Structure 1
Amino acid sequence: MSLSSSLDSHTPEVAILRVSGLRCAGCVQSLESQLKAQPGVEAAAVNLVTGTAVVTYSPNETTPVAIVECLNQGRFQATLAEANALLELPTASEETSLPRLAIALVLLILSSAGHGIDLLPGHWPMLEAMIWHWGLATIALVLPGWEILQEGMIGLIQRRPNMNTLVALGALGAYLTSTVAWLWPALGWECFFDEPVMILCFILLGRSLEQRIRQQAQRDLQSLLALQPPKALWQPSLESTDRWPIPVQQIQVGDWLWVEVGDP
């Protein structure tokens, strides 16, 4: 084996992954740590807006397929992307949480109505019943909050806690404590069945707002990328007068390009 071929075999390569399940900066750090912990991975950079991960790896130790398979065993799901994936932003974010947010808002209104029962016309004793508030909290955990609780507990079990872990611990803690206080009133504890409903509702509201901001950021990036010309004038060296057009995707670090006055 020649020296050049030996050096080429040790040259790091780059893989681009499309990743789902990214929700916050903590998810980005967790994903980067998981990627860097894999054998053969030398560096990893994750972009929350585009939902991509750029991984630098040693081809002698691992492959992009192995990286993806290892990553898919956790809470993140990844697929291999094309080389120009960073320039092809997704047109829509991940699965919307608007239906779950609507359910959570209805549950929050019903739960809050018990505290303002004096302002309601008529007589509504059911709104003050503890079983009513227990039922609303149970529905909030099972329907709109189930995905948050599941992801949070998985992160805790895998020793990779995230924002969902904090939300899950807070909501479940308030729910279980209130249930015990309701079933055994002799303990003298207070019931906080409204808290799980409020926590989950506000978290889903924040995610919906964040989703809209992320989509707007994607549209802005798309607008900026649309200004990029499809081709550039490449020349062999600074002194050369020979130039010919090449696709911008083929431009590499160190290339010489000729830009005319007024070119985009």
Structure 2
Amino acid sequence: MGAVTITSSPDTTTGRPTDGDREVGTLAAAPLRTEVVSELPYRDDELWKKLHPDSSKRCSAGTTEKCFLEITGMTCASCVSNIEKNLQKEDGIVSVLVALMAGKAEIKYKPDLIQPLEITQLIKNLGFEASVIEDYTDAAGSINLKVTGMTCASCVHNIESRLNKTLGVLHASVALATSKAHVRFDPEVVGPRDIIKIVEGIGFQATLIKRDPKDHNLDHKQEIKQWKKSFLSSLVFGIPVLILMIYMLIPGDQQHESMVLEQNLIPGLSILNLLFFVLCTFVQFLGGWYFYVQAYKSLKHRMANMDVLIVLATTIAYIYSCVILAVAIAEKAEQSPITFFDTPPMLFVFIALGRWLEHIAKSKTSEALAKLISLQATEAVIVTLGPDNCIIRYKYLSCMTDEILQYSGIWRSTL
């Protein structure tokens, strides 16, 4: 198993590594301070507002929070731009960051104006599927702890009151029945190790609840199934169209003109064009229904994406062919006109095939990412250095997660 070594020089004020932190071997060493690091100062509102003018926004009802969404249906950078531009126009949304490859969005919002479920509905109105990723909703500033040693409601009140009075802790709730605590905090002020030390300083044991690294929310099985079904249904009608297209490539001569498919059923309508019309109509409105829905939702918001382009190309070819065929029948033409009924089925077949293969590739990439996540270190050693750069004390941490590493900590991997 891999391990991580964390080197720090604790500060008496915050219990976190200061700017004097250095890696093993640094020449200039800050003097070691031996005060208790499990205690963080209580919140002095007046002093805190002077030092951090923006803190009142984070701690008030109008605080800015972050949520993570899983978005499906994106195909290109235009989809990403469409989502970002439309969401940024909404009141209460501070910033939007969408990742096309991962199919995720990181959104900062004001909870007093808008909620994550409302944001997902806005994305659905744009023509995409969206859902809140519960495991990552408050991952940037929250932790879940397993607290042991509690016996009554007084223990719960003791932990909650101590944490809620700690500088940088926004909210803390403890459940006696499950022996779990959920803490929201400002990562720029306080870290997970500080919170654990506070709980331990009161007289309880606290450990970080480890998240399963397999919960990466990058599964593309649903999209793979959808586009495989779309490809196969389009292919059923596309193969006959392909055969008829090959038939049309036979050089024209007297014998070819007298073939059965070239004969008119009625003036202006040949058997070949009738077959093309029937096959194309099924593909246009059955296989292409998804594209029509997505194009409508996009145009409703005055945006154009790849689905709009596909619908535009196939619809023009279909309508044009229907019009000239109707004109030929009305005029009772001796020869049926040349149509483009073969274009929409073949386009839908190749587009569905391409998106099917695309999501298969994304799924394999997701599996590789999950394997990389599983290789993270599972143990950590926190080392405190003295004035002469020697190790004064150290502490082992098990069930290592990304959350336990505070941003100001100095660490190096010892895999």
TM-score (norm 2): 0.55
How far apart, in 1, do the equivalents of 2:107 and 2:385 lie? Answer: 31
For 1:251, which of 404, 407, 410 is the aligned residue?
Answer: 404
Matching residue of 1:184: 327
Matching residue of 1:94: 222
Greater relative contact order (Cα 8 A, min sep 6): structure 1 or 2? 2
1:87-236 superposed matches below 5 A: 88-95=216-223, 96=225, 97-117=227-247, 125=261, 129-185=272-328, 190-234=338-382
How far apart, in 2, do the equivalents of 1:198 and 1:54 lie? Answer: 38
Matching residue of 2:145: none
Matching residue of 1:8: 58
Cα deviation for residue 223 of structure 1 reads: 1.7
How far apart, in 2, do the equivalents of 1:78 and 1:116 lie? Answer: 43
1:63-74 superposed matches below 5 A: 63-74=115-126
How far apart, in 2, do the equivalents of 1:25 and 1:237 lie? Answer: 49
Cα gap change, 1:158/1:7 in structure 2, threshold over 3 Å: closer, same or farther? closer
Cα deviation for residue 34 of structure 1 reads: 2.4
C-alpha contact 1:137 1:197 (8 A) present in aligned 2: yes
* Structure 2 unaligned regions, length at least 5: 1-43, 49-54, 140-210, 252-258, 263-269
Secondary structure of 1:179's partner?
helix
Cα gap change, 1:22/1:230 in structure 2, threshold over 3 Å: closer, same or farther? farther
Letter of the structure 1 residue corresponding to residue 280 of structure 2: A
C-alpha contact 2:318 2:341 (8 A) present in aligned 1: yes
How far apart, in 1, do the equivalents of 2:293 and 2:354 lie? Answer: 19
More helix by share: 1
The structure with more radius of gyration: 2
How far apart, in 2, do the equivalents of 1:104 and 1:205 lie? Answer: 10
TM-score (norm 1): 0.83
Q: Which moved more, 1:171-180 or 1:63-72?
A: 63-72
| Identical-pair percentage | 24
C-alpha contact 2:220 2:362 (8 A) present in aligned 1: no
How far apart, in 1, do the equivalents of 2:411 and 2:80 lie? Answer: 38
Cα deviation for residue 135 of structure 1 reads: 0.6
Secondary structure of 2:101's partner?
coil
What are the superposed Cα offsets for residues 146-181 of structure 1, whole Å, 9 maximum, x if unpaired?
Answer: 111221122123212210000001101100010001
C-alpha contact 1:20 1:94 (8 A) present in aligned 2: no
* Structure 1 unaligned regions, length at least 5: none
How far apart, in 2, do the equivalents of 1:116 and 1:23 lie? Answer: 32
Cα gap change, 1:90/1:165 in structure 2, threshold over 3 Å: closer, same or farther? same
How far apart, in 1, do the equivalents of 2:313 and 2:120 lie? Answer: 33
Letter of the structure 2 residue corresponding to residue 161 of structure 1: A
How far apart, in 2, do the equivalents of 1:211 and 1:124 lie? Answer: 43
Cα deviation for residue 47 of structure 1 reads: 1.8
Q: Say what the alpha-carbon RMSD is for the aligned residues.
A: 3.2
More strand by share: 2
Q: How many residues align?
A: 259
